Amino acid sequence: MCQPCLLEDVLISPQHSLVKQVHEHFLPGLIPHDPKDLEDCPDNLVKLRNSAYNIDGFGVAWYTSSAADFEQGDTGQSSDGMFKEGLRPAFYKTVTPPINDLNFRSICANTETRVCFAHIRAASGTPIVQTNNHPFVFGRHTCMHNGVITSFPAIRRAMLMKMSDAAHATMVGTTDSEHIFALYITYLTQNGDRSSFEKTYTVHEMAAALHDAVATVIGLQIELLGTKVTPNSLNLCVTDGIKLVAYRFRNHSTQEPPSLYYSTKAGTTLNRKYPDHPDGANIQDDANRIPRDKHGKHLIVASEPTTYREADWHLIGKNQLLMADEQGGVRLADIPYDQAWNAIDPTVDS
């Protein structure tokens, strides 16, 4: 089994850690970092789309067995009547810069987990409040998004009509992101009630529900906006604490979605119990650390690589999804795509 990580090692310590990405970006294979290579970048807007300042909030969710450990005796129920076995998400959200948040730093220095989601926000028109920060939690399912649903106010009411009552009632914010995840939960649970949010589903069911949510959004845009439809950027990630699906999507014929990378090797570099350092620094006590081959299977998905070895990271292709199953298997696949979804970007398309 994969060893647990300390949140501090993953989210704070590395030079390219998430909290540093508020202002700084490292995107190998997508944005050239050598000025002489800039002319080779095929999408002139790709740098703008991936280099926004993420100053509008932060959130982290980590999976813990605490709720399961304190069920009521042998009744199999917790105080709310729900059966909470296994790992479940806890979360912390703030609208202050995470690097200066003492509560966040204390949590990260003293919390270990085998599964965590973390997100820095660049708001796209909705209020900057904690309830609008990612990740979003529906029962045991955690979700987060990088990008934007275009013309969201124009389709919001129609999206609400597609949701289950339970998914709608669980939303606490106003973002386009939480709305698409409410659709995801609706399709995943087949319009189930709140108790269905506590169940697990296959990784293929998770991927299908995510695709159904995206197809619903685009279908509503085409129906309600017609020729005024513009491209969406939908980098979506969902987990139940055991399985994960990540989605890199933009419905334009040539433009790239926001960046999204994965690694099945960088976990040991991001764990102080094992040799190496995320920034390549020399470590004096390497010999006293756990051998790297004892770590076990793992997966990291991130908008930007967070360790110094670029070879450990792979850019997920445009309109591809990544699936990680309960056995630790990782597979890439093309997202089912209808060419009729291609939208015009009025800022560049004639």
The lowest-confidence range among 25-29, 65-69, 208-212 is 25-29
Q: What is the mean pLDDT of residues 279-295?
A: 73
- Residue 38 scores a pLDDT above 50: no
By percentage, how much of the chain surpasses pLDDT 70? 80
Q: What is the mean pLDDT of residues 110-136?
A: 82
* Amino acid code (one letter) for 283: I
The residues pairing with 244 across neighbouring beta strands, listed in sequence order, are 239, 324
By percentage, how much of the chain surpasses pLDDT 90? 56
Tell whether omega for the bond before 135 is within 30 degrees of 0, i.e. cis: yes
- Residue 222 scores a pLDDT above 70: yes
Taking residue 6's Cβ as centre, other Cβ atoms within 10 Å add up to 19
- Residue 88 scores a pLDDT above 70: yes
pTM of the model: 0.86
- Residue 340 scores a pLDDT above 80: yes
Q: What is the mean pLDDT of residues 63-69?
A: 83
pLDDT band at 44 (very low <50, low <70, confident <90, very high): low
CA 38 to each of CA 21, 34, 217: distance values in angstroms, whole numbers, following the listed order:
21, 7, 34
Tell me what pLDDT residue 279 has: 77
Tell me what pLDDT residue 308 has: 84
Higher-confidence residue: 273 or 41? 273
Q: What is the mean pLDDT of residues 27-32?
A: 55
Q: What is the mean pLDDT of residues 142-151?
A: 95
Higher-confidence residue: 264 or 68? 264
- Residue 179 scores a pLDDT above 70: yes
Tell me what pLDDT residue 33 has: 39
Dihedral sign of CA atoms 248, 250, 252, 254 in order: negative
The lowest-confidence range among 30-34, 148-152, 157-161, 232-236 is 30-34
Tell me what pLDDT residue 2 has: 58
Tell me what pLDDT residue 49 has: 45
pLDDT band at 273 (very low <50, low <70, confident <90, very high): confident
Distance CA 322, CA 262 (A): 9
